[in-house]
Amino acid sequence: MASALVLCLSTGALSVGLHPPGATERAFAAVDAIEVRAAHGASFVPALDGARPLFILALGSDARPGQVVARQRADSIHLIGVNPARHRATILGIPRDSFVAIPGYGSRKINNAMVLGGPELMVRTVEALAGVRIDFYLLTSFKGLERMVDAIGGLTVDVPYAMNDSFSHASLRAGPQRLRGWQALALARNRHDTPNGDFSRSLNQGRLLLSALAQLRREFEESPGRLLSWLVIGWRNIKTDLDFDTILELGMTATQVPATAVNNLVVPGSSGFVGGASVVFLSPGGAGLYADMRSDGLAG
């Protein structure tokens, strides 16, 4: 599965969160233990009982400077299912304009759930849609992605096709390349210069996640202590309902999941209109994906 920072890199956004006193110190104190365990070849899988899948909701807010990040529209929505025992995971993107039932508010675009009730209502909305119990959320906003990518020295991404979009400022050639923070953000936001609009954009956000996971694993194999650098960068730049110690455990688990063992999917659907507003009607085929994820966290 992905660490907190890896999950944030998938969304294209950031919310600066204050870490409690001593959290960073505990993180760096743990690096010696990590290096000792790596030297002895021990497993880094945390103490998860594996009785059921782990579900994470990664959210990106479209908040602009001065706005409350947790009460603006969700610009990206990804349900992450993790099977710790099998070292596999699924990233399931939900188009931001999906017309769904929001608990207590009737049917609306899913991105409005955060405006109406913050990330907590978004969690309830996705739980009702997919029929899963979400264990925790990670909330992000635009400038943070740039800062995090730059802080890790850039991110190597296999861009699926050439992009030249004036709206997102995505100007990228096709193929593997090292992206700076602003380029990663542009790729994550691009929906005008893609084959299938928001569906492609959600899939590309998943590609960023997979690229970050692959890079984290490479760096961890070279130097186990590098994991702590990633996690501290993420911890300083995200909003979540987890404490740092749990983030550390999840980060350790992330190093044991190959990017090739993670399916990157988007809920299928079609574009339409409700009251003159453009929306996405999710396909009944999505029910099969939800059912697969409910059983073991995996789909596709």
Cβ neighbours for 274, distance < 8 A, ≥ 6 positions apart: 99
Q: What is the pLDDT of residue 25?
A: 52
- Per-residue pLDDT of 14-29, as tens digits, reads 333 333 445 445 544 4
Cβ neighbours for 183, distance < 8 A, ≥ 6 positions apart: 170, 172
Burial class (CB in 10 A: 0-12, 13-18, 19+), 246: middle
Percent pLDDT > 70 in the chain is: 83
Domain 4-296 listed as CATH 3.90.470.20: no
Angle at alpha carbon of residue 295, lines to 131 and 123, rounded to 5°: 30
**Helices vs strands, H then E, count in the chain:** 9, 14
What six digits make up the tokens of 134? Answer: 């979400």
- Per-residue pLDDT of 246-280, as tens digits, reads 788 778 878 888 999 999 999 999 999 999 999 99
- Spell out a b/e string for 54-88, using b for 16 or more CB atoms within 10 Å of the CB, else e: bbbbbbbbbbeeeeebbebbbbbbbbbbbbbeeeb
Provide the residue type at 90 as one letter: T
Between the CA of residue 283 and those of 112, 172, 183, 255, 266, what are the distances in Å? 20, 31, 32, 34, 11
95 near 280, Cβ under 8 Å?
A: yes
Between the CA of residue 30 and those of 1, 164, 228, what are the distances in Å? 20, 44, 8
Q: What is the pLDDT of residue 13?
A: 35
What six digits make up the tokens of 87? Answer: 């070292």
- Per-residue pLDDT of 62-99, as tens digits, reads 888 888 889 999 988 999 998 988 989 999 999 999 99
The CA distance from 93 to 268, in Å, is: 9
Helix axes 181-189, 142-151, angle to 10 degrees: 140
Residue 155 has pLDDT above 90, yes or no: yes
Residue 98 three-state SS: strand
- Per-residue pLDDT of 186-239, as tens digits, reads 999 999 999 999 999 999 999 998 999 999 999 999 999 899 899 888 888 778
Higher pLDDT, 100 or 87: 100
pTM of the model: 0.84
* Total residue count of the chain as it appears in this document: 300
> For residue 299, what pLDDT band results from cuts at 50, 70 and 90?
very high
Q: What is the pLDDT of residue 121?
A: 97
182 near 169, Cβ under 8 Å?
A: yes
